[in-house]
Amino acid sequence: MILSDAGIRRALTEGHIAIDPGPESAQLQTSAVDMFLGHAFRVWDLPRLATPGLSPVLDLAEQRFADTSNSFLIPAELERDGSYILKPYHEVPQVLLCQTRERIDLKLHSRLAARVEGRSSLARLGLMVHLTAPTIHAGFNGNITLEVINHGPFHLKLVPNPTRICQFIFERLESAPEQDISTQFQGQKTPTGGRT
């Protein structure tokens, strides 16, 4: 079951969900909460990855590749005002890792999980905010890292704080989880990976 705006307000009031900073009423939609873009931006060091013999092979079966892959992330080059210009993917094949301004805490006992989704107004421009990783598991606490790609024809200016970059949709679990969340991204504060 997806929570409505009334259900989201109730979950916030009862402490089942914590969002910091707390959402303003304009952020609440009928069945989602809009989230703002945070200040941290990272990109892959493409010139370094293109160095012959340097680019590692990441064994996805091992599920321990975060340290290796993260060593190739660098801070994105920002504009003077702290914004980032995201070029179309056909010009620069780059995934931008950034985060929501808001930190979310889905209390394990609340039986709530969430999904991060794009906003249709931005999607129509070609902006994608996640790559097959929309799930925010019950018990997660941290900022949400977004994997952003510009598939459109325009250069897009991403401005921290006023840009509503994505939305969270909250879903009720059929029963309480039997185990605590186990993820290397719990409590994350820098965009170095996904959600779980």
| pLDDT per residue as tens, the chain (196 positions) | 999 999 999 999 999 999 999 999 999 999 999 999 999 999 999 998 888 887 778 888 877 777 677 888 999 999 999 999 999 999 999 999 999 999 999 998 899 999 999 999 999 999 999 988 899 999 999 999 999 999 999 999 999 999 999 999 999 999 888 777 655 555 555 555 444 3
**Hey, which bits of the chain come out as E strands?**
17-20, 33-44, 73-75, 84-86, 96-106, 112-117, 127-128, 135-136, 141-150, 156-158, 164-172
Cα–Cα distance, 170 to 158 (Å, whole number):
25
* Residue 43 pLDDT: 96
3-class DSSP assignment, residue 69 = helix
DSSP β-bridge partners for residue 150 = 127
Q: What pTM does this model have? A: 0.86
The residues annotated with a catalytic role in the active site are 147
> Could you tell me the two tokens for 33?
């909460």
**Cβ atoms 37, 160 nearer than 8 A:** yes
Cα–Cα distance, 45 to 69 (Å, whole number):
10
* Residue 71 pLDDT: 84
* Residue 7 pLDDT: 97
Give rounded-to-5 percent helix, strand, coil for the chain.
Answer: 15, 35, 50
Burial zone of 43 (CB within 10 Å; 0-12 exposed, 13-18 middle, 19+ buried): buried
- How many residues in total does the chain contain? 196
Residue boundaries of the structural domains of the chain? 5-48+70-172
* Fold topology of 5-48+70-172: Deoxyuridine 5'-Triphosphate Nucleotidohydrolase; Chain A (2.70.40)
Burial zone of 31 (CB within 10 Å; 0-12 exposed, 13-18 middle, 19+ buried): middle
The CA-atom distances, in angstroms, between 188 and each of 7, 120, 195 are 27, 27, 9
